[in-house]
Amino acid sequence: MATGQIETADVDLYYTIRGAGPMLVILQGGAGNADGSEDLANHLANQFTIVTYDRRGLSRSAPIRAEGYEIATHAVDIARLIAALSDKHAFVFGTSIGALIGLELVAHHAAHVRALIAHEPPVLALLEATTREEALRHHSEVIETFQRNGIPAAMKMMVAMSGLDINDREPEVPAQTLAADPKVAAERSADLQHFLTWDVPAVTRYQPDIDALTAERSKIVPAVGSTSQATLPYRSATALAEVLAAKVVEFPGGHSGYILRPKAFATKLDEVFSQR
């Protein structure tokens, strides 16, 4: 695995690259950095050249300023990253906020994308009115809880919203534990602080460009987790599929299936991308 940084005017984006074959960029969910999907990346490295990165504001991609972040800002970063690493378009897998970034990338930088698997993107604007109001209320409560009670209380709410079940995992995947290394733990805390301060509000504000997405619908694969049916992310993905008149593809596990079921998830990603 090689690492590097792409320099821009306001942020140096840290990335990793491994494997061989067509480029596949992984856009993490939550506050996940370039290391957050390590098992998935390793399972795919025989079929693809895998690129992961630290989203601006996280870990090794510290920007000059954080104010005013939007999903579109992250999409510009990914377009620059793909262009810097390859003269061809790339496969893209995005999950949660990463799937929103992927949708924005397809909508406004489509030349960089061969195909996007958008796994449970929280496109709240596409939800039916009552469900949308519920989702917006939950997001507001998460932000207020973070401001009042801190990171653990807010993340507990986010985990509940996504329906995460830590026991729904492959046998070789250990239960998630807090990092014992104080440096790693401090970095994780800083990433969560940034995520809750800037990225969660950006998700809440996001308004998809429906016309642009519809024009590029052939590149977009809406995806859900096989155990996510009762969650808002699942409903958002199915709402996206309805707008695009697209078939929803089911992936192993729930909202975090790419972390908890990386082997089966990688097999499904390879299967879907091989058809594009």
Sign of CA dihedral 64, 203, 26, 157: positive
The tens digit of pLDDT for each residue in 83-92 reads 999 999 999 9
Q: Which domains does the chain have, with CATH numbers?
A: 2-273 (3.40.50.1820)
71: Cβ contacts below 8 Å, ≥ 6 apart: 97, 100, 101, 104, 202, 203, 206
Confidence at residue 8, expressed as pLDDT on a 0 to 100 scale: 81
The tens digit of pLDDT for each residue in 159-171 reads 998 888 888 999 9
183-196: average pLDDT:
88
pLDDT surpassing 90 at residue 177: no
Spatial distance between the Cα atoms of 222 and 204, rounded to a whole number of angstroms: 19
Spatial distance between the Cα atoms of 31 and 199, rounded to a whole number of angstroms: 9
Query: Which amino acid is residue 148, in one-letter code?
Result: R
Confidence at residue 192, expressed as pLDDT on a 0 to 100 scale: 95
- State whether residue 3 is helix, strand or coil: strand
Spatial distance between the Cα atoms of 189 and 169, rounded to a whole number of angstroms: 24
pLDDT surpassing 60 at residue 180: no
pTM of the model: 0.95
